[in-house]
Amino acid sequence: MTEIIDGNAVAQSIRDDLATAIDQLADAGHTPTLATVLMSDDPASETYVSMKQSDCEEVGIEALDIDIDPDADAAKLYDTVSDLNADEDVNGILVQMPVPDHVSDRQVLRAIDPRKDVDGFHPENVGRLVAGDARYKPCTPHGIQKLVESAGVDTEGKEAVVVGRSDIVGKPMANLFIQKAPGGNATTTVCHSRTEDLPQKTREADILVAAAGVPEMIDGEMVKDGATVIDVGINRVDADNDKGYELVGDVEFESTKEKASAITPVPGGVGPMTRAMLLYNTVKATGLQHDVTVDLP
Ligand code: NAD
């Protein structure tokens, strides 16, 4: 029987378990606070930010919601980040990407105080992750580590194949898999748009992470018997329904399920974990900033 890994359930247990750390912070007089900054009128970005805010409220994290006119000068965003860096009541800062074309996303990421960079994208935090001394693991790959663990899969000595080399998913995922640490110690291959003979690589995988953003590009023929398959993709494809579209992953679910021992669905797999690990990082950040030891899940 193939296990369908329930991301909603694992995410809920992480949220429940964060209560201990949030209580420890409350005992020390601190309420974790996450500032979300949105400089966009893209409906998807608006939805992501409002989901992150309601997640915060649900677990007892204060959410500070800052909207910036997408036509404003880039300086407005940098000044806002600088004010949030200086605000001792703010523990985490998240600037929702993408930012408008006239704003440099690299410059924005560098402007965030690395101690408040709960996405883990600041170069200092990327460096620490690579060096095996992560302060904040990026939310999506960290969530995937938790999903793999929840399926009872030990990564040590396994062949892990990551399809995609983005800064937010593929690269940090591969870095976590190669760390000499729990959830790591895997022999790791990173595939990307220039990889030759992708199926030959994916068929080697004991653990396959698909993060290419190409609808259903991985099918059962590309997967080894018994593999654990993690589908990161969230792709809108036209559909004959009220919305006119549906969401599909990078994995063709039905044929892959026949081969895999465990697989994540889309939706309800990686997505809820990304959101839960943002809460985790915000709670961790609050403990670090106030020198309070917290027990994290
Ligand atoms: P990206 O576009 O930044 O990177 C995609 C990567 O895939 C690139 O490195 C590219 O080299 C590689 N790629 C593209 N086509 C390929 C092909 N045919 N063969 C092999 N490699 C190929 O995307 P991203 O931000 O990493 O996101 C990837 C997907 O994951 C998207 O669908 C995105 O919506 C989704 N995503 C989901 C979550 C979540 O929480 N579930 C979080 C982040 C991203």
* Residue 183 and residue 145 in contact, taking contact as beta carbons nearer than 8 Å: yes
Q: What are the tens digits of pLDDT across the range 71-130?
A: 999 999 999 999 999 999 999 999 999 999 999 999 999 999 999 999 999 999 999 999
**pLDDT tier, 16 (very low <50, low <70, confident <90, very high otherwise):** very high
270 Cα nearest atom in ligand 1: 41
**Do 29-115 and 139-271 agree at the fold level?**
yes
Closest ligand 1 atom to 213 CA: 32
CA of 209 from ligand 1 middle (Å) equals: 10
Catalytic residues: 52, 96, 119
Report the atom number in ligand 1 closest to the C-alpha of 235: 32
The sign of the dihedral angle between the CA atoms of 212, 217, 221, 226 is: positive
Topology annotation, domain 29-115 = Rossmann fold (3.40.50)
Which residues surround ligand 1 with Cβ inside 6 Å?
140, 163-166, 168-170, 191-193, 195, 198, 211-214, 217, 232-235, 270-271, 274
Number of neighbours of residue 269 by Cβ within 10 angstroms: 28
Query: How far is Cα 192 from Cα 284, in angstroms, rounded to an integer?
Result: 32
Angle CA(23)–CA(25)–CA(27) in degrees, nearest 5?
Answer: 70
Atom 6, ligand 1: residue with shortest CA distance: 164
Neighbours of 102 (CB within 10 A): 10
CA distance 234 to 185: 28
With the most atoms of ligand 1 within 8 angstroms of its CB, the residue from 45, 162, 234 to mutate is 234
Q: What is the pLDDT of residues 217-241, one digit of tens each?
A: 999 999 999 999 999 999 999 999 9
Among 5, 139, 193, 219, say which to mutate for ligand 1: greatest number of ligand atoms within 8 Å of CB: 193
Q: What is the CATH number of domain 139-271?
A: 3.40.50.720
Domain coordinates of the chain in residue numbers? 29-115, 139-271
Cα 249 from Cα 235, distance rounded (Å): 6
Query: Residue 70 has what pLDDT?
Result: 98
Residues 279, 86 contacting (CB under 8 angstroms)? no
Distance CA 144, CA 135 (A): 17
Per the CB < 8 A criterion, the answer to whether 70 and 96 are in contact is no
